[in-house]
Amino acid sequence: MRVGSTTTLDALAMQEHASRPLVLTGARLLDPASGLDEKGDVVVQDKTIRHVGGHDDKVADALRVDCSGLCLCPGLVDMRACLCEPGFEHNETIASGSSAAVAGGVCSVLCASNTQPVIDRVELVGFIQRRSREAAYAKIYPCAALTRQALGADITDIGLLQEAGALAFGDSWRYVANSRVMRQALSYARGFDALVMQHAQETSLSADGVMNEGALATRLGLEGTPAVAESIALERDVRLLRDVGGRYHASHITTADSVAIIAEAKAQGLSITCDTAPPYFMLNEHAVGNYRTYARMNPPLRQEYDRLAIIDGLCSGVIDAIASDHCPYDRESKRLPFEQAAPGSVGLETLLSLVLHLYYDGKMTLLDALSKVTHLPASLLGLDAGALRVGACADLVLFALDESWRVDADKLVSRSSNTAFDGMMMQGRVRATFIDGRLVYRGVPLRKK
């Protein structure tokens, strides 16, 4: 029996290797879903994982790659990223956004519905899927709008959209303000067991705000969004959820109050989940400093007290997942007076390192931190991803846990460079990303999936 040949990641990058079995040897295997954390091998064949664990040298004709010194975990699953196609291709495309994804170890992306036109029809879901097949480096799944054109008035064809492949429903950065519409949407979606995602910011309180309300906003003369804008939206939705049922997910929660509200709703047994994004556990309102537009976010960065509560929420499990909140904008959209600048930060390429920050800060174990970006979001979306399991698709990330690097906005793979973390030191860096067992990223995006 031929045992196969030994090769390196760099050599692998130069060749089309999908036809041969692949054995990644000697890596520290990290699987948050099963709690696995040990040195071992992963065998990949025909796009799927064939073996996880102890040393395996029996696979015939395999390419063996020595991965010692690296960590191997399931490819990351991102619950919310703007890929801007169709409509805003000057900011990002499915090709550029997905290459940023694999550079950040993200293998599955739920792309937000805030495109132009809005993803509110079956044809648009088809468009995203087709562009994903043609141009994407990572797996792109559409999130459809909950209401037509995300206007918050009429609900979309939730059933048909779901059949076509939409994994969740939400108006991305728009709050469904009308309580009747939200009630109908939750209730209707229940018939399809569809996940309803809400940008929980009460519009009448948040519309004029450009940063967190408080002493800093007052000093800078900027209009503030009070934290209560988020609490009110969440509390209303919790009431509706209790009334009509359904599966509800609050996107990017940012305040201490929100954590408390969701904790209580979960304790009552409601089907509620939520996520947050790295800016909200890494930064507070002071990042705005002297009108730094790159720190303008929607929802805004909150107080230090809130940031700490978000970390607590992640540790206690109240917050289920961490999404990148990847929100690309060209340079011109940020080089404006603060209140005219576009809110948001790119986040795909820094996601893993910032999640690891929770581990390095001693807040969470390595596996718990990784679970927020792997099997937990995957299970919310009903995706068979985010686990190192025999039979699962071989979406894998190899990263150097100790490697430090400095974020350089100009070197990001994404078409836009509006990161809130420019110049920040990170610890832990993606070295290689595999999708369906094929190496798609090794220092640079290599090939489409």
Partner 1 sequence: MLRADKTHKTRKTQRCASVKACRHILAIEGMSRDAIVALLDKAQSYVGGDSGKRRRLSVLEGYSVINLFFENSTRTRTSFEMAAKRLGANVVNMSVATSSIKKGETLLDTAATLNAMDTDVLVVRHPCSGAVVLLAEKMTCPVINGGDGAHEHPTQALIDALTIRSRKGRLSGLKVVICGDVKHSRVARSNIHLLNTMQAEVHIVAPYTLVPSGIDELGVRVHHDMHTGLRDADVIMMLRIQKERIHGAYVSSPREYYHFFGLDRKKFAVAKDDAVIMHPGPMDRGVEIDSELADDIDRSLIHQQVEVGVAVRMACLQTVMES
Among all residues, which ones are annotated catalytic? 325
Site for partner 1 in 195-214 (CB under 8 A): 213-214
Contact, 301 vs 279, CB < 8 A? yes
Minimum gap (Å) between residue 33 Cβ and partner 1: 44
Strands 22-31, 36-45: pairing is antiparallel
Minimum gap (Å) between residue 220 Cβ and partner 1: 6
Q: How many CB atoms lie within 10 A of CB 299?
A: 29
Residues ≥6 apart with Cβ < 8 Å to 123: none
336 binds partner 1 (CB under 8 A): yes
Contact, 380 vs 273, CB < 8 A? yes
Q: How far apart are CA 101 and CA 304, in angstroms?
A: 29
Q: How many CB atoms lie within 10 A of CB 48?
A: 15
Instruction: Out of 130, 133, 242, 335, point to the residue binding partner 1 (CB under 8 A).
Output: 335
Nearer to partner 1, 121 or 302 (CB): 302
Residue 178, classed as helix, strand or coil, is: coil
First to last CA, the chain: 31
Residue 286, classed as helix, strand or coil, is: helix
Instruction: Out of 1, 219, 269, 391, point to the residue binding partner 1 (CB under 8 A).
Output: 219
Task: Return the range that interacts with partner 1 (CB under 8 A); candidates 19-27, 47-55, 215-223, 362-370.
Answer: 215-223
Minimum gap (Å) between residue 218 Cβ and partner 1: 4
Per-residue DSSP letter, 318: S
Task: Return the range that interacts with partner 1 (CB under 8 A); candidates 16-24, 175-183, 217-225, 320-328.
Answer: 217-225
Task: Return the range that interacts with partner 1 (CB under 8 A); candidates 71-79, 171-179, 318-326, 331-339.
Answer: 331-339
# chain residues binding partner 1, by CB under 8 A: 22
Per-residue DSSP letter, 222: -
391 binds partner 1 (CB under 8 A): no
Dihedral sign for Cα atoms in the order 215, 218, 223, 228: positive
Instruction: Out of 220, 287, 315, 342, point to the residue binding partner 1 (CB under 8 A).
Output: 220
222 binds partner 1 (CB under 8 A): yes
332 binds partner 1 (CB under 8 A): yes
86 binds partner 1 (CB under 8 A): no
Nearer to partner 1, 265 or 288 (CB): 288
Minimum gap (Å) between residue 204 Cβ and partner 1: 12
Instruction: Out of 119, 216, 301, 392, point to the residue binding partner 1 (CB under 8 A).
Output: 216
Contact, 199 vs 252, CB < 8 A? yes
Helix spans in 224-365 (H)? 228-244, 256-267, 278-282, 304-316, 331-334, 351-360
Binding mask 95-134 for partner 1 (x = CB under 8 A): ----------------------------------------
Minimum gap (Å) between residue 414 Cβ and partner 1: 22
217 binds partner 1 (CB under 8 A): yes
Instruction: Out of 68, 180, 290, 410, point to the residue binding partner 1 (CB under 8 A).
Output: 290
Task: Return the range that interacts with partner 1 (CB under 8 A); candidates 2-10, 104-112, 311-319, 333-341.
Answer: 333-341
60 binds partner 1 (CB under 8 A): no
Minimum gap (Å) between residue 284 Cβ and partner 1: 14
337 binds partner 1 (CB under 8 A): yes
Cα-to-chain-centroid distance, residue 353? 13
Residue 414, classed as helix, strand or coil, is: coil
Nearer to partner 1, 19 or 290 (CB): 290
Cis amide prior to 299 (ω within 30 degrees):
yes
339 binds partner 1 (CB under 8 A): yes
Task: Return the range that interacts with partner 1 (CB under 8 A); candidates 54-62, 65-73, 236-244, 334-342.
Answer: 334-342
Minimum gap (Å) between residue 287 Cβ and partner 1: 15
Residue whose tokens read 């209730």: 187
Amino acid at 234: L
Nearer to partner 1, 147 or 201 (CB): 201
Name the packing angle between helices 179-190 and 228-244 (round to 10°).
50
- CA dihedral (80, 364, 411, 70) in degrees, to 10, reads -110
394 binds partner 1 (CB under 8 A): no
Cα-to-chain-centroid distance, residue 137? 16
170 burial level (CB within 10 Å; 0-12, 13-18, 19+): buried
Instruction: Out of 215, 390, 425, 444, point to the residue binding partner 1 (CB under 8 A).
Output: 215
Q: How far apart are CA 12 and CA 63, in angstroms?
A: 9
Nearer to partner 1, 220 or 409 (CB): 220
224 binds partner 1 (CB under 8 A): yes
| Radius of gyration (C-alpha) of the chain in whole angstroms | 21
Residues that bind partner 1 (CB under 8 A): 213-224, 226, 290-291, 332, 335-340
